[in-house]
Amino acid sequence: MAHQITRDDCRARDADDPLARLRERFDLPQGVIYLDGNSLGARPRAALERAQQVVAQEWGQGLIRSWNTAGWFALPGRLGDRIAPLIGARDGEVVVTDTTSLNLFKALAGALAMQEQRDPARRVIVTERSNFPTDIYMAEGLTRWLDRGWRLHLVDNPDELDEAVNSDCAVLMLTHVNYRTGYQHDMAAVTALAHQHGALALWDLAHSAGAVPVDLHAAQADFAVGCTYKYLNGGPGAPAFIWVPQQHQAAFAHPLSGWWGHARPFDMAPAFSPADGIVRALCGTQPVLSLALVECGLEIFEETSMQALRTKSLALTDLFIELVESRCGGHPLGLVTPREHARRGSQVSFTHPHGFGVMQSLIERGVIGDYREPHIMRFGFTPLYTSYADVWDAVEQLRDILDRGDYRIDAERGAVT
Ligand SMILES: *Cc1c(COP(=O)(O)O)cnc(C)c1O
């Protein structure tokens, strides 16, 4: 008979875990097991001191001089260069700026404009119906307001991409790891499919950056955007990033041509002239307080590697699946996340008919995950600060709630779930 995993086994794995020391770099509340770093990453300890420094010194004392003396003006590019190694990008190809929604709009508009030059007959943007809604909404808004005959085509299943990506397709716009199911696309293979048919490939890395190894250049991707407040632990509402590879930068133009993307913003010229390089992806003045804190999360990644993080992430998600299936066996739980490692992100989703109520009970007991329609309980595993014993303890709480039926079917829903 197979050995039943025990809590002591989990503790032994923690004792051997080379990443365990990194948990100290985060300030997590006592008594909380945080399995929602896929939605809002935990706070790096360094962020508090950094916030104080930016507010008291750089703003308070430096005042407007800090745009130069504290490096505020250069922050989007400096932070972009620190994200680059996590996603297989190069120096000078990434800026941290605006929101993921806005960056997606800029990248999509830029990709469509490039295709208009090359092959104006192509008018279709292909994406998935299961994509994160804002990605679909932004594409919808773009096609409606910049009315140039573009159409949005939504596929219901990755298998349909083969047919949908054809000679009408201008841009294939996908999220690499699905927010709800944790399904991970094969970026290189899907990008190759797009290129075979003359389409450009735009990737959203919101649930990939800092979560799974990404190599944009190896995959020959064309554009990418992503989030810093999820796995990168940048802080609530921290600015997002956009990647335009060097080979596309000269041709890259987008409609949000604000003064921060101008070649010489302080000429205050009446006409727009884009800056060289990735700076042209910027729009207007950046939220310096939020931007500055992104660095505290990125510094922690520099103490390890995405390979090491991936190894632990898969071990954590494997353990969670195994324990839920062995310890909560009699309950109507359905695994939504792929078992195959190559297709799995850093989260595990299970359905339960009362998923919302069960999740509310878990949160009351200090196990914080979240809920997504329909019926999906989502558990994110951030290897930087999640231990194997955390996984054990979370599953024990889940088992106890299910065994006792201790969940509220009529739980109140907050504005954010
Ligand atoms: C989280 C997420 C976003 C968030 O976009 P915001 O502009 O930051 O609200 C966008 N796209 C995907 C795929 C996401 O997972």
What is the pLDDT tens value at each position of the chain, 417 positions in all?
568 999 999 999 999 999 999 999 999 999 999 999 999 999 999 999 999 999 999 999 999 999 999 999 999 999 999 999 999 999 999 999 999 999 999 999 999 999 999 999 999 999 999 999 999 999 999 999 988 999 999 999 999 999 999 999 999 999 999 999 999 999 999 999 999 999 999 999 999 999 999 999 999 999 999 999 999 999 999 999 999 999 999 999 999 999 999 999 999 999 999 999 999 999 999 999 999 999 999 999 999 999 999 999 999 999 999 999 999 999 999 999 999 999 999 999 999 999 999 999 999 999 999 999 999 999 999 999 999 999 999 999 999 999 999 987 776 778 887
Is 99 flagged in the annotation as binding?
A: no
Is 338 flagged in the annotation as binding?
A: no
Q: Which amino acid is at 404?
A: R
Tokens of 410: 């009529």
* Distances, alpha carbon 366 to alpha carbons 59, 157, 313, 384, in Å: 37, 35, 21, 19
Crossing angle of helices 75-87 and 288-301, in 10° steps, is 30
179 lines ligand 1 (CB under 6 A): yes
137 lines ligand 1 (CB under 6 A): no
> Looking at the DSSP assignment, which residues form a beta bridge with residue 224?
203, 243
Is 390 flagged in the annotation as binding?
A: no
pLDDT the model gives residue 1: 52
> Looking at the DSSP assignment, which residues form a beta bridge with residue 301?
none
Q: Quick one: 381 exposed, middle or buried, by C-beta within 10 A (0-12, 13-18, 19+)?
A: buried
* Distances, alpha carbon 291 to alpha carbons 206, 288, 296, in Å: 17, 5, 10
State the Cα–Cα distance between residues 228 and 19, nearest whole angstrom.
21
Question: Ligand 1 centre and the CA of 327: distance in Å?
Answer: 34
> How many C-beta neighbours within 10 Å does residue 135 have?
24
* Distances, alpha carbon 28 to alpha carbons 14, 35, 52, 368, 369, in Å: 17, 12, 19, 12, 14
Percentage helix, strand, coil for the chain under 3-state DSSP, each rounded to 5: 45, 15, 40
pLDDT the model gives residue 2: 65
> How many C-beta neighbours within 10 Å does residue 184 have?
23
Burial of 96-124, coded b for 16+ CB within 10 Å and e otherwise, reads: bbbbbebbbbbbbbbbbbbbbeeeeebbb
pLDDT the model gives residue 156: 97
pLDDT the model gives residue 60: 98
Question: Ligand 1 centre and the CA of 267: distance in Å?
Answer: 34
Helix (H) or strand (E) holding 326: helix 306-327
CA-closest residue to ligand 1 atom 5: 100
> How many C-beta neighbours within 10 Å does residue 297 have?
29
State the Cα–Cα distance between residues 69 and 62, nearest whole angstrom.
8
pLDDT the model gives residue 260: 98
Give Cβ neighbours of residue 411 (< 8 Å, ≥ 6 apart): 356, 357, 360
* Distances, alpha carbon 116 to alpha carbons 18, 120, 174, 191, in Å: 50, 4, 20, 19
> Looking at the DSSP assignment, which residues form a beta bridge with residue 201?
172
Question: Ligand 1 centre and the CA of 404: distance in Å?
Answer: 36
Tokens of 334: 């359905």
The closest of 216, 243, 218 to 228, measured between CA atoms, is: 243
Cβ–Cβ < 8 Å for 304, 19: yes
The DSSP bridge pattern shows strands 223-226 and 241-243 to be antiparallel
Question: Ligand 1 centre and the CA of 229: distance in Å?
Answer: 10
Q: What is the pTM of this model?
A: 0.98
Positive or negative, the Cα torsion across 342, 188, 155, 178?
positive
407 lines ligand 1 (CB under 6 A): no
State the Cα–Cα distance between residues 202 and 397, nearest whole angstrom.
40
Cβ–Cβ < 8 Å for 389, 10: yes
CA-closest residue to ligand 1 atom 14: 206
206 lines ligand 1 (CB under 6 A): yes
